[in-house]
Chain A
Amino acid sequence: MTTTGMGAPPPTPSPVKTARGEGVLQIALIGNPNTGKSTLFNALTGMRQRVGNYSGVTVERVEGRYRSASGRPVTVLDLPGTYSLSANSPDEEIALGVLLGQTPEVPVPDVVVVVVDAQNLERNLFLASQVIELGLPVVIALNQVDAAEAAGLKIDAVELTLELGVPVVPTVATRRQGLDVLQHAIEKAPELPLPERRFSLPVTVAEALAPVERSLTEYGLAPSAAGMEALRLLASGAEGHLAAVPGLAEQLTTALAELEAADVHTRSLEAELRYGWIAGVVEQTTERRAAGGKTLTDRIDAVALHRVWGPLVFLGLMALVFQSIFTWAEPVMQWVEATMGLLGASVAELMPQGVLRSLLVDGVIAGVGSVIVFLPQIAILFLFLGFLEDTGYMARAAFIMDRFMRGVGLHGRSFIPMLSGYACAVPGVMSARTIENPKDRLATIMVLPLMSCSARIPIYTLLIGTFIPPIAIAGIFDLQGLMLLIMYLLGTVTALVVAAIFKKTLLKGRTRPMIMELPPYRLPSPRGLALGVWSRVKLFLRKAGTIILSLTIVLWALASYPKHPIPDGLAPEAAQELQLAHSALGRMGHLIEPAVRPLGYDWKIGVGIVSSFAAREVFVSTMGTIYGVGATDETSATLREQLRAERNPATGEPVYTPLVAVGLMVFYVYALMCISTVAVVVRETGGGRRGWGWAAFQMTYMFALAYGAAFLVYRGGLALGIGT
């Protein structure tokens, strides 16, 4: 066996007792993000799990089972993706805690499988070298060897086995290659000598760390694990799970002082030693074919990550997405609109006149139907976002955004929760848990609802489709697509500006740089894309069938009662308008009207805004119900046509102008009209009085921003004579 440092000592028995019976083999999977760890987990256990390294995905404990070829049951624990065991983030702490046997609910694994990306051997071996020192049986799954070979890298697995002192099995998890050999190696690993550190420490370092290692061994750590921890603590200090070790902090201070006196850079010592050894291992085991052959990923990234072209490509792609929402969705939307109209007409014809018919036709079909017509837009948006995510482009978008994020003082990691905010703020706020710095986390949560979520799509597309003309701008783009892009950009840019203000005032603090993995580009699977879109469509329909339907029924009742006496001889339109104005909803609306008048809105829009606090789409269904109840004929025009035809009874002027529509959209970009987001912010900012305090602060600042911006747009537009 070849070693690069001190010779391997004789095998020692495992110092840690496992908690299971002899029969079940407990293994843990660990690896850097994007090594295909989750894919390997799925391939081994057959359990379905989302693949990717977005925050929150593998933070939770994920377990699966399989039976080995010899029939032995094996339990697989999928640990969070991590670059090292340095315990700098919650993910790393979880992984380290499990491997050291300090997580009460999880037994110490019998075998640790380190998933190593063959394309990034050097960086991946850092974590592997730490795991090897923990005194547990280890197997290395050298994954994605096919991609490495395509990139001109040939790794000698046998040589690597000799260098690391643990079995190395080449695998391609996506194609289930090498799995049988891996399973065999896992089963046999406990019978092999336990691995040890493969490089030696300089004498000064070894002597300075000896007392620290002794304390850790007395505390219960395996000797090799104590060695790994002692070296790690030089950079991170005795915090977290080792804070309770008696006398450790003092011993560490003495060791640091001795090493500093000997001119050793203690902060970077571990990295220098490990990477120094790793460089030798890689040199020994890897052959590079004719350098200079750039992969397709390299060639695409040369443009996609370019300082100037990168952001432009990003903007261009987003513009294309938003344009397609109008161009592609329109025919399907018209079809859904026509179907809803037909449904309303059929119900009106089949049922006798009465309150139930009015509820179904004017309330449910007009209200819920007006939201359902936006289903094509939602599907197209998520088809595109899913495509960009599955090809690997979204990771590049996060990389591009990281520059801007750091510019405003936010951690690059914040962009990932913010990106999920484009779908819905609630999972975004929850995934902010993975941001270590509490101030960065709070700043991210505070600005996250400014990202335009999918619930705003029906409002934006209703108003843009109705009031913004499709004037061609450049080839395939037109004013409608551009307007939608502007709304999304407005939210994103404002989120960055507000975050910068928070980070300079309320939540001052230093931001650490982010290390990010950029996976190679790949063609997404149509099935995966279809499943992603279907899950979004299902959620949208469920929301329409529950919360929107319930609110529509309540709003219909409020818009229909109490009945007002209609004077004889009044025209049907005027009679309907009179009834609506004197209904409970009408009275409430007139109460709200003075507050929204300065923004150019009438009482109906005011009611729409207030009711949409339940969920933003309710604005559209409220408009559908109000105009449904207010209409004289139950088979009448679509909501878009009704909005265009709406006139101020006093002046005869149109109520909705392009200017009012733009102002209203700006209002919805900024206003926190979502009860679920408020609830999750309360919980994630500490709950109780503290949580409510932050949520109230967020609602207040966002409402002030929304009102102020809508006022400026409307009044500014009036003064300049634009869009009136």
Chain B
Amino acid sequence: MLQSLIVALMLLGAVAYLGRRWYNTFAASRGRGGGGGGCSGCSGSGGH
């Protein structure tokens, strides 16, 4: 029972994380220079 509860919470957390991440990624693409979101695989060199 406890295991199922933890798994359900982890699943919920994962879905919420992915949803927020992708929402931010595309929210930033609405206009140039929107900043934020962007790359999940890198940072720094382009200042994004």
Contacts and interface: CB of A to CB of B under 8 A. Distances in A.
A686 B40 contact: no
Contacts of A675: 22, 25, 40
Interface in A414-435: 420, 423-424, 426-428, 430-431
Contacts of B7: 355-356, 359, 557
Interface residues of A, number: 46
Nearest to A55: B46
Contacts of B48: 426-427, 430, 680
Interface string B15-42: 1011001100110111110100111111
Contacts of B39: 424, 426-427, 676, 680
Contact of A679 (B11, B26, B41, B44): B26
A453 B40 CA distance: 13
Contact of A550 (B3, B17, B45): B17
A34 B38 CA distance: 30
Contacts of A615: 40-41
A434 to B, nearest CB: 11
A434 B29 CA distance: 19
Nearest to B12: A553
B3 A676 contact: no
Nearest to B15: A554
Contacts of A551: 14, 18
A644 interface: no
Contacts of A428: 46
Interface stretch (A245-253, A309-317, A517-525, A541-549): A541-549
Q: Is the interface of A mostly helix, strand, loop or mixed?
A: helix
Contacts of B30: 683, 687-688
Interface in A553-591: 553-554, 557
A339 interface: no
A554 B11 contact: yes
A454 interface: yes
Contact of B47 (A56, A357, A546, A614): A56
A546 B22 CA distance: 13
Interface string A439-472: 0000000000000011100000000000000000
Given A426-B39, A539-B42, A687-B30, A547 B21 contact: yes
A117 interface: no
Contact of B31 (A354, A614, A683): A683
Contact of A687 (B6, B11, B31, B43): B31
B41 A356 contact: no
B3 A356 contact: yes
B38 A554 contact: no
22 contacts: A56-B45, A356-B4, A356-B7, A359-B10, A423-B45, A426-B38, A426-B46, A427-B42, A427-B46, A431-B45, A539-B42, A543-B41, A550-B13, A550-B14, A553-B11, A557-B7, A674-B41, A676-B41, A679-B26, A680-B38, A680-B39, A687-B29
Interface of B: 3-4, 6-7, 10-11, 13-15, 17-18, 21-22, 25-26, 28-32, 34, 37-48
Given A539-B41, A557-B11, A683-B32, 19 more contacts: A355-B4, A420-B45, A424-B39, A426-B48, A427-B42, A430-B46, A535-B44, A543-B41, A549-B14, A550-B17, A551-B18, A554-B14, A679-B28, A679-B37, A680-B38, A680-B48, A682-B29, A683-B30, A687-B30
